[in-house]
Amino acid sequence: MFGNKIKYALIASSLVFGAHANAGGAYVPSVKSMAPVYETESELDGSPVELASVRGSWSKIERKSDKLCITTKANNLPEGAFTTWWIIFNEPDNCFGGDTIDGASCTLGDVGNPAADTSALSTAPALVGPRGVGIFDSCLEYGEIPSTNLFGGGVKNSHAEVHILIKWHGKAAFDDYNMLGNQLTKIDGGCDAFIDTDFQGRSHCPDLRMIVHPQL
C-alpha cells in the first residue's frame, strides 16, 4: 500500500521554541524540525524511482503539548487531486530498525509490529494546479482519530515518528463531485486509471512524494 521498494531517508535539524502548559501544569517545550521531501514513485505508472530530494520542497513538524502539526510544501507535482497519509509510530524505540538513514528509527517493516503502536490515516487533501506546487497543512490532537483513519489510534504522544506519503489520484474530477470527494478522502479514490495494485487489492495511486520526521 505504501510502496514496498521505498528507501527511507532523512536529514533533519531541531529547534526548540516557547513552551506550552499540559493538563498537569508542567511546561512542555514546543519542538519544531524540518525535513526534506523526496520523490519516490513515477507519475506514469506508479513504479519506484531512485530516491531523490525535490529542490525547493520542505516539511516542518511542530510537536506541541496537546497536538502535532505538520506543514509540507511539495514542488514539481502534476495537476490533480492529492491526499497525504501519515504512518505514525507512537513507540519508535520499539521499532526493528534496519535500512534507515539519518535518524529514522522505523521502516515499513514495523507497520505490523505491535510494540511500535502504529497508526495510518489521511490528512490535508489538496488540489494542485498548473504551477505544480502543493501545500499540505494539518494538525492532529493526541488521541484524535479522524474519519480517514485506516488503522490504529492516531498520534498518541509528542515523541512519535511520522512518515508521510503524498498520493496522487489523477486529474481532479471537477465534472463528478462524488468522484472528486473520493479522490480527496479515500486511499483508492479515482485510482482505477493506474495499472499497479497494492497488497490489499486496491487500485494503486502513486505515492509521488515521501517525508520522514523521526522521533523526538
**Residue 2, in any domain of the structure:** no
Number of domains in the chain: 1
pLDDT of res. 102: 62
**Residue 5, in any domain of the structure:** no
- The strand pair at 58-63 and 134-141 is best described as unpaired
Nearest CA to 209 out of 89, 72, 99 is that of 72
Give the CATH number for residue 76. 2.60.40
Nearest CA to 59 out of 38, 77, 42 is that of 38
**Residue 95, in any domain of the structure:** yes
Number of Cβ atoms within 10 Å of the Cβ of 31: 17
| 137-195 pLDDT per residue, tens | 999 999 999 999 999 999 999 999 999 999 999 999 999 999 999 999 999 898 886 65
**Residue 33, in any domain of the structure:** yes
Instruction: Give the mean model confidence (pLDDT) for residues 13-42.
Output: 62
pLDDT of res. 194: 67
**Residue 8, in any domain of the structure:** no
| 174-190 pLDDT per residue, tens | 999 999 999 999 998 98
| 75-116 pLDDT per residue, tens | 999 999 999 999 999 999 999 987 766 679 998 889 989 999
Instruction: Give the mean model confidence (pLDDT) for residues 123-138.
Output: 97
User: Domain range holding 139?
Assistant: 13-213
**Residue 160, in any domain of the structure:** yes
Number of Cβ atoms within 10 Å of the Cβ of 174: 10
23 has pLDDT over 70: no
**Single pTM value for the model:** 0.83
64 has pLDDT over 70: yes
**Residue 3, in any domain of the structure:** no
**Residue 209, in any domain of the structure:** yes
